Amino acid sequence: MRDQLDPLDMAVARIASRQHGVVSVAQLRAAGLDKHRVHRRARAGHLHRVHRGVYAVGHLGLGWEARWIAAVLACGAGAVLSHASAAALWGLLRPIAGPTDVSVPTHAGRKGPAGINLHRREALGKAGRTERSRIPVTTPAQTIADIDGVFSPRLVRRAIRQAEMAGLELGAELASDRTRSELERDFLRLCRRFGVPVPEVNVRVGRWTVDFLWRRRRVAVETDFYGYHRGRVAFREDRARDLDLRRAGFAIHRFSEEQVNERPADVAADLREALGLAS
């Protein structure tokens, strides 16, 4: 005869299934397990302590999401994943080994639990918090505001670009220039320096994404890294792109990294001529 599962264990399993395999002591007690039952299951290897007051159910082979929600549960009501950990959850940056970042809505309290970077902040309201993968977390805009000044400008720009590519809401104040490389940013700086009208950046024209576009003037620009554009496949794609753009009525101009950085005046003169601007 098959053994029947303990109803209490079934209740715990249901909670854990919604939380990436972890539960809090408060949830265990709400499910009907007093401290003696919790200790008994921990000794038997059914529960494994992750943080004080938080257990993994069945095993300790936790993935990132389980670690993150365990840290949030350990910090109590109102806690949310934040900073670098939130950026990783949103897919803006890669996960970083080490303590998990959690924000709590207070400036008071004891030192944070081991393995958790606790950020106390009374000002974090409903507008700055949401949920992703059933984990309370700061919004994408709040997350980027939190990592700005902590990480390098390059990584912050990467996070903004990833958010935009994923269609996440950032607000106008955090919108990037849509560039995808340092060369593209150098090209925009060149335009501003020499008074060339700022183009649209990385926009679709037919089946292609064009680096820079002056739509009304029917001018398109591609900026090329040698290492990225060499090879047979890249050569064919570049030629196909150029043909399609010309057939759509655009004049296509290509500038190398060397030309943008070492001959900016010549590039600007060529652009101004293509755009019909007075020299």
Domain positions in the chain are: 7-57, 64-174, 182-274
Spatial contact of 98 and 71, defined as CB atoms under 8 Å apart:
no
Fold exhibited by the domain 182-274: Endonuclease; Chain A (3.40.960)
Helices (H) and strands (E) in the chain, counts: 12, 12
pLDDT score, position 5 = 66
Closest CA to 64 of 160, 137, 169: 137
- Residues (pLDDT < 70) of the chain are 1-5, 108-110, 123, 172-177, 225-234, 278-279
Task: State the pTM of this model.
Answer: 0.63
pLDDT score, position 226 = 55
Spatial contact of 179 and 164, defined as CB atoms under 8 Å apart:
no
> How many whole angstroms separate alpha carbon 251 and alpha carbon 205?
13
pLDDT score, position 1 = 38
pLDDT score, position 105 = 86
* Span 175-221, pLDDT tens digits: 566 777 788 888 988 998 888 998 998 889 999 999 999 999 999 99
- State the sign of the Cα–Cα–Cα–Cα dihedral 41, 47, 49, 53: negative
> How many whole angstroms separate alpha carbon 182 and alpha carbon 157?
11
Spatial contact of 147 and 174, defined as CB atoms under 8 Å apart:
no
First-last CA distance in the chain:
92
Mapping DSSP to helix (H, G, I), strand (E, B) and coil, where does residue 243 land?
helix
Q: Please name the residue ranges forming H helices in 75-181.
A: 83-89, 140-147, 153-165
